[in-house]
């Protein structure tokens, strides 16, 4: 997606630890027009997948999934919570997820009332690096008996193992911006 790549080149910052910071337009401050284009592109990539729900992880994926839902006739968006809440029903689906950017392990949860065996789920997230978040969401779908019909990521660092890991599990993975390298001088290369 050329528009996204241009924005990453313009406003993305490379931080120590191989971190690509794009929070000025994607997940801390949101460029709603760009986000709308991202949602539309995900629809174009997955329009025939038959999804009846979109699953993501808090918090960065929520805006992305919500934007995409609009183009899928407003199908429900479900997000895995990273923190235990008093209002979360007991016996929620749970999976471990190690955050690449925060270097923290989370136990993510989805209530059993929002995901079940009749669901066809499109998983969407902001980044795909090692594939931990996406793998955790697939695990939750497996626990629910739901069928994963596609996995999408706004940005993928193709030199890390996440995309291959998820594809090797047999899932259709689509990426909007494929980062092939980043350097300390601030240059970002795309496939």
Please give the DSSP secondary-structure letter assigned to residue 89: P
Q: What is the pLDDT of residues 65-81, one digit of tens each?
A: 999 999 999 999 999 99
Quick check: 89 pLDDT over 70?
Answer: no
pLDDT interval class at 101 (50, 70, 90): confident
pLDDT value for 90: 76
Q: What is the pLDDT of residues 21-37, one digit of tens each?
A: 999 999 899 999 999 99
Measured between alpha carbons, how far is 107 from 67 in angstroms, rounded to an integer?
A: 26
Q: What is the pTM of this model?
A: 0.95
Is the CATH number of domain 2-190 3.20.20.140?
no
**Token couple for 173:** 């993975």
Mean pLDDT value of segment 116-125: 98
Measured between alpha carbons, how far is 28 from 183 in angstroms, rounded to an integer?
A: 23
Mean pLDDT value of segment 87-111: 85
Mean pLDDT value of segment 82-87: 72
Quick check: 85 pLDDT over 70?
Answer: no
Mean pLDDT value of segment 59-67: 94
Please name the helix (run of DSSP H) or strand (run of DSSP E) that holds residue 11, with its range, or none: helix 2-11
**Token couple for 54:** 């979109």
Q: What is the pLDDT of residues 153-183, one digit of tens each?
A: 999 999 999 999 999 999 999 999 999 999 8
pLDDT value for 42: 98
């Amino acid at each position: 997606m050329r528009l996204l790549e241009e924005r990453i080149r313009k406003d993305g910052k490379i931080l120590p630890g191989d971190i690509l910071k794009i929070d000025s337009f994607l997940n801390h401050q949101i460029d709603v027009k760009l986000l709308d284009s991202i949602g539309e592109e995900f629809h174009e990539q997955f329009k025939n997948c038959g999804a009846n729900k979109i699953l993501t992880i808090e918090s960065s994926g929520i805006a992305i999934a919500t934007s995409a839902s609009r183009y899928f006739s407003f199908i429900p968006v479900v997000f895995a919570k990273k923190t235990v809440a008093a209002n979360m029903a007991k016996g929620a689906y749970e999976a471990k997820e190690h955050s690449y950017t925060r270097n923290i392990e989370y136990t993510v949860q989805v209530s059993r009332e929002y995901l079940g065996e009749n669901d066809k789920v499109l998983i969407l997230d902001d980044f795909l690096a090692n594939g931990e978040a996406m793998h955790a969401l697939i695990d939750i779908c497996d626990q629910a008996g739901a069928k994963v019909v596609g996995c999408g990521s706004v940005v993928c660092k193709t030199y890390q193992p996440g995309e291959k890991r998820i594809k090797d599990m047999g899932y259709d993975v689509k990426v909007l911006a494929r980062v092939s390298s980043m350097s300390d001088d601030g240059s970002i290369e795309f496939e």
